[in-house]
Amino acid sequence: MTVRTRFAPSPTGRLHLGNVRAAAFNWLLARQQGGSFLLRIEDTDIGRNVPGGEEMLIEDLRWLGLDWDEGPDIGGPHGPYRQSERDASYARAVERLAASGAAYACFCSEEDLEGEAEDFGEGRTALRYSGRCRALAPSERARRVAAGEPHVIRFAVPEAVSVVEIEDEIFGDISFPTSDIDDFVLRRSDGRVTYNFAVVVDDIEMEITHVVRGVGHLSNTPKQALLFDAFGAPRPVFGHLPTVLGPDGKKLSKRLGATAVAELRSHGYPPDAVLNYLSLLGWSHPEEKEVLTRAELIASIGLDRVGRSDTQLDPEKLRWVAAQHLASEPLAELAAHMRPFLDLARFPGAGEHLEAVVDTLRTRLSTYGDINAHLELLYPPEEEAMEKRRALGADPEVRRVLEAVRARLAAAEVWEAAPLDQAVRAGGADAGVKGAGLFHPVRVLLIGSEKGPDLGKVLASIGRHEAFRRLAQALG
Q: Which residues are known catalytic residues?
A: 254
When the beta carbons of 197 and 379 are compared against ligand GLU, the nearer one is: 197
Residue 82 in contact with ligand GLU, rule: CB under 6 A: no
User: Judged by CB under 6 A, does residue 326 bind ligand GLU?
Assistant: no
DSSP 8-state code for residue 112: H
Q: Which is nearer to ligand GLU, 184 or 439 (CB)?
A: 184
* Amino acid occupying residue 67: D
By beta-carbon proximity to ligand GLU, the closer residue of 10 and 461 is: 10
Least Å distance, CB 125 to ligand GLU, is: 20
Identify which range of 6-14, 99-107, 173-181, 418-426 contacts ligand GLU by CB under 6 A.
6-14
Cα–Cα distance, 329 to 338 (Å, whole number):
12
Render 17-60 in DSSP notation, one character per residue.
HHHHHHHHHHHHHHHHTT-EEEE-B----GGG--TTHHHHHHHH
Nearer to ligand GLU, 8 or 365 (CB): 8
Q: Give 10 or 194: the residue with its C-beta nearer to ligand GLU.
A: 10
Nearest to 4 by CA among 201, 200, 205, 210: 210
Query: Which residue among 24, 42, 264, 453 contacts ligand GLU (CB under 6 A)?
Result: 42
Applying CB under 6 A, does 448 fall inside the site for ligand GLU? Answer: no
If one asks whether residue 16 binds ligand GLU (CB under 6 A), the answer comes out as no
The sheet that has 4-7: what strands, in order across it?
36-39, 4-7, 210-214, 237-241, 163-168, 172-177
Please list the residues that pair with 152 across neighbouring strands. 106
Quick check: 10 binds ligand GLU (CB under 6 A)?
yes
How many positions of this chain bind ligand GLU (CB under 6 A)? 7
| Distance of alpha carbon 412 from alpha carbon 60, whole angstroms | 47
CB of 213 to ligand GLU, least distance (A): 4
CB atoms near residue 386 (< 10 Å): 15
Q: Map residues 184-213 to x or -, x wherever contact with ligand GLU holds by CB under 6 A.
A: ---------------x-------------x
Provide the 8-state DSSP code for 163. Answer: E
* Cβ-contact 245, 310 below 8 angstroms: yes
Residue 8 vs 193, nearer CB to ligand GLU: 8
- Binding mask 217-256 toward ligand GLU (x if CB under 6 A, else -) reads x---------------------------------------
CA neighbor of 423 nearest in space, from 443, 407, 435: 407
Shortest CB 10 distance to ligand GLU, Å = 5
Q: Do the Cβ atoms of 25 and 211 come closer than 8 Å? A: no
CA distances for 201 relative to 39, 112, 204, 211, 223, angstroms: 15, 29, 5, 13, 13
CB of 249 to ligand GLU, least distance (A): 22
Beta carbons of 249 and 224 less than 8 angstroms apart: no
> Smallest distance from the beta carbon of 308 to ligand GLU, in angstroms?
18
Stretch in the footprint of ligand GLU (CB under 6 A) among 5-13, 156-164, 250-258, 382-390: 5-13
* Site stretch for ligand GLU (CB under 6 A), options 3-11, 84-92, 362-370, 429-437: 3-11
Report the alpha-carbon distance of residue 63 to residue 168 in Å, rounded: 31
> Which residues make up the interface to ligand GLU (CB under 6 A)?
8-10, 42, 199, 213, 217
